[in-house]
Structures are given as C-alpha cells and as structure tokens.
Amino acid sequence: MIKFLTSLLLCVFLAGSFSLAEEKRPNVLLLMADDLNTALSGFGHPQCKTPCLDELAERGVRFENMHCQYPVCGASRASMLTGLYPYTNGMLGNSGVLRDNLPDVVTLPQLFRKNGYHVGRVSKMYHMGIPFEIIDGTANHDDTESWDEVVNIKALEQNAPGLRTEWSPGDTGSQTFTGVESSTGDLEHADGMAAEAAIEFLKRNKDKPFFLGCGFVRPHVPLVAPAKYFDLYDREAMIAPIVSSGDLDDVPGIIRDYKAMSRYGVTPELHKGLLEAYYASVSYMDAQVGRVLDTLDELGLRENTIVIFTSDHGYLLGEHNKFQKQHLFEESTRVPFILSAPGIPEAHGKATGQLTELVDLYPTIAEIVGLTAPDDLQGKSLTPLLAEPSTEEWGKDLVFTISRSGGESIRTNDWRFTQWGFGKKGMELYDRKNDPGEHTNLANNPAHADQLAKLKKQLEVKREEAGYDPKRYRLK
C-alpha cells in the first residue's frame, strides 16, 4: 500500500505540479550525442570510460532497452523531436526538410516556445553533415521555428593539429574512420565549444524557464579528441567483436554487403586503433557533458531542471562484420538514454529494461512539465517507468525501427523480426533469448514458421499505425 501511494503521489507530481506558478516551472536540458552506441561504463561496457554520464545515471533513470526509429541521424532526430514515426513525418534519411512534409508540425522545443520558455539550440540537434558543417559553421537542415536562439559551432575537425591516423584505409568516403590525437585542448574542438556555449546559455537564462538542446558531435567520425583522452586507453588491450566469417551468409542479399568490413580495409591491428579512437572520442564528449552538468550545480539549477541524455542511434563497430549505421541489428537500433527529473529520488540510480523508443520522449517531457502536447503524437509517456522503473505494467510489447532499402524491424522481449524491400526482398528472424547476438537467421527454418508469421503480422499492424503508405513508400 505504501509503495502504491508513493507511486500515485509521484505521478501527480510529475503530471502537473510545476504548472502552478511560472517561477516553479522546470527547465529542460536535452543533451544529444552523435553516432553513440551503448558504449558507456554506466551501461556495462567493459572498456569505455564515461564517469560524467555515469554520475548522471546515478541521479536519474537508465533506460537500457531504448531504441531509435531509424538508424541514421536526420530521420532519427526528426522523429524524436516531432514525436512521430518516420513514415508519418516523411523524414526517411538525411535529405529533405521537415516542414516541407509537415508545415504545421509543433516540435518538442517549439511546444516550449509556445508556452513561454526561452528555447535554445547549441550545435547539432536536427541533422547536420558532419564533419563538413562543423568545418563551415552551418546547420543547413535546422528547423528555425523550434528555437529562439541558436549557436552553430565552427571547428577544424580532422584538420586539427596532432597525430592523424586512417584506421579504415580501404574507405575513401566522408565517413571513414579518421582518428586525430590532437595536440590542442578541449575548447579547440567542436564538443568543447558546444559545452562552452551551453554554459553561457545557462548563465544568461538561469532566472527564467528554459529549454536547451545541446548537441555533441562525437563520437561521429572523424574521431577527433585531445591526446589525453587517447591516453586513457591501452590500444593493445582493445577487444574487438568476435564474429565468424560467415555471419552474414544468411542475411538477405539487399543488405548483406552494405558497410561490410571488407569495404573498410580494417585489419585486426587497425581495429584496435579504431576502437581506441572511438572510445577516446566518447570520453572526450563525456567530459564536456560533465562541464555542462557542473554548471547546472554551480548555478543551483539542477533541482529544477529535467536532464535527458541520449544518442540519435546505435553504431556497429565490427559486430556482424559490419561498421556504422543503417542496419537493423540490436547494436544499431539500441541507444543509451538517461532521464533525470526533479522529485524522483526513489528512482535515482535505477534502470529499466522495458522496451522503449525515442519517439516516447516528446509525450514524456510534455507530461512532466504539464504542457498540452499535440494530439497526434505516436509515442507513449515514460512517466510510469520514472515512478517505478521495474513496473511490469508498462504495456509496450514491441519497438519499431525502419531503415534504408525498405528495411523494417520489430523488437519484442524475446524476438527480432526484420524484413527488407518492404517485405519483398527477404526476412530475418532472431531468437534473442537463445541468440542475443542475432547471429542465426531463423526466417527460413520451418520449425519457426508460426513464430515468423505471428511477428510479420505484428509488424504489418505496427507499420500501419506508424503511417506507412504503400503508394508513398516503395522500393525504387
């Protein structure tokens, strides 16, 4: 009974107590990393060091089964900030402009603008072409109606002074794994500059309700960080994923060779250096997050500020003999997610393994603050999991992610089902209970035909709910 009353009071608190007086309305600080998988020490990673984000997790709730809606920057960010699946908002990649598809959409930050908050953006929140837009100091895909003020960051990226190494010499594109152990300090690089701009925003707006979106571009390639962050790691001790050479033999041909390791020219020794550079970039980003959070404490704002940290999508670092994003394996759909909100001390430091999606962020923050969100949001408020992270009454039994080449995937507690070409170019079925690494595709195994049919039907129902239109979305 006591536990029930505590949860009930917390739900009442989360749902509207802040709306009673403007001076008591909570601030919102949304921190976003770029191309970050769950390589955080607080999420159980054995090598990557992220002490600042671990500290944030101790003051909030870790969502350990959070998934993106599209494993590429532009589509994922647009989905999260509109609270709509990509099929509905029309953003199915990095090209296009959100309001060309939905001119009247009210984005998450825009909702706060409409309700008297001062709303700012620092660096990458919607899609930006990294590294070139950082080098140029632009944000060509931004949504101007979302913000009162913006700060674009201009930095040298791979042209920074220091030791430069090409860890994927077989790849000549813009997403090659270039590492730079820079001889300069934190503030000479993009994320240090972003943290500095965020700190200045907090100082200027500490006496008024604010919403600040601060985007960090690491660990997106190029993997640039001051040398001291590389020094945190022993390159020879880096542990690369162990994958059989034929791991992709049972994957549909339409996606089998996409961003496969053979393209990158990464030898076992180069792989160790690649991992060191990725983790060093993560640790550098982590330190910048820490500087922003320290400022919240110094200004006395932490107890009245909702803090969210997440990434736009996951990232493959050799799992399944693949690299980077736009795949529909667990490593590319799952993201780190931490939410720290005032008034939930009983949940601090706890984690939930319930299935959740980035599309759930918008209704969650609106409910906590007491703002009336648009009626057409497609996510589900996470507040029950903030009240009781271990609750079995959450109710979401699958998450939905789509990708290039007509890829569509649902993840349940025990299974992942994926189809390509909008169902016409092959399927994948993984028993996550017995095969959590998703290595053995059971789609063509007669013993699992009933399970396959069941999940395919569930996917078809979910894709319709998510706005799929067969006349609009078809394989070209």
Average pLDDT over residues 18-37: 79
Residue 161 shares a structural domain with residue 27: yes
- Cα–Cα distances (Å) from 347 to 268, 319, 352, in that order, read 42, 33, 10
Q: State the pTM of this model.
A: 0.95
Domain that holds residue 414: 399-465
Same domain, residue pair 428 and 323: no
pLDDT (tens digit, 9 = 90+) per residue, 450-467?
Answer: 999 999 999 999 999 999
The answer to whether 387 and 99 are in contact (CB under 8 A) is no
Domain contains 48: yes
**Residue 20 corresponds to which tokens in the numbers above?**
């009673």
Q: Are 103 and 193 part of one and the same domain? A: yes
The residue out of 356, 387, 418 marking a domain boundary is: 387
At residue 343, the pLDDT reads 82
Nearest to 83 by CA among 295, 377, 313, 367: 377
- The predicted pLDDT at position 128 comes to 97
Q: What's 118's domain CATH number? A: 3.40.720.10
One domain for residues 376 and 408: no
Confidence at 348, pLDDT banded by 50, 70, 90: confident
Total domain count, the chain: 2
Of 454, 322, 467, 455, nearest to 402 by C-alpha is 467
Residues 57 and 9 in one domain: yes
Same domain assignment for residues 295 and 433: no
Query: What's the rounded mean pLDDT across residues 33-57?
Result: 97
Beta strands 415-419 and 427-431 are antiparallel
Per-residue pLDDT, 462: 98
Question: What separation, in Å, do the N-terminal and C-terminal C-alpha atoms of the chain show?
Answer: 58
Query: How far apart are the C-alpha atoms of 454 and 298, rounded to whole Å?
Result: 53
Q: Is the pLDDT of residue 1 over 70?
A: no
For a pLDDT cut of 90, what percent of the chain falls above it? 90
Please report, for the domain that includes residue 406, its CATH number.
3.30.1120.10
pLDDT (tens digit, 9 = 90+) per residue, 167-181?
Answer: 999 988 878 999 999
* End position of a domain, from candidates 365, 387, 409: 387
d(C-alpha 120, C-alpha 307), whole Å: 15
At which of 346, 362, 387 does a domain end?
387
Percent of the chain at pLDDT > 70 equals 95
Residue 61 included in any domain: yes
Asked if residue 42 belongs to a domain, the reply is yes
Give pLDDT, residue 173: 80
Q: How confident is the model at residue 476, as a pLDDT?
A: 62
Confidence of residue 141 (pLDDT cuts 50, 70, 90): very high
Asked whether residue 354 falls in the same domain as residue 405, the answer is: no
90 Cβ contact list (under 8 Å, min separation 6): 96, 100, 101, 102
13 pLDDT higher than 50: no
Q: Is residue 63 situated within a structural domain? A: yes
Domain identity same for 422 and 315: no
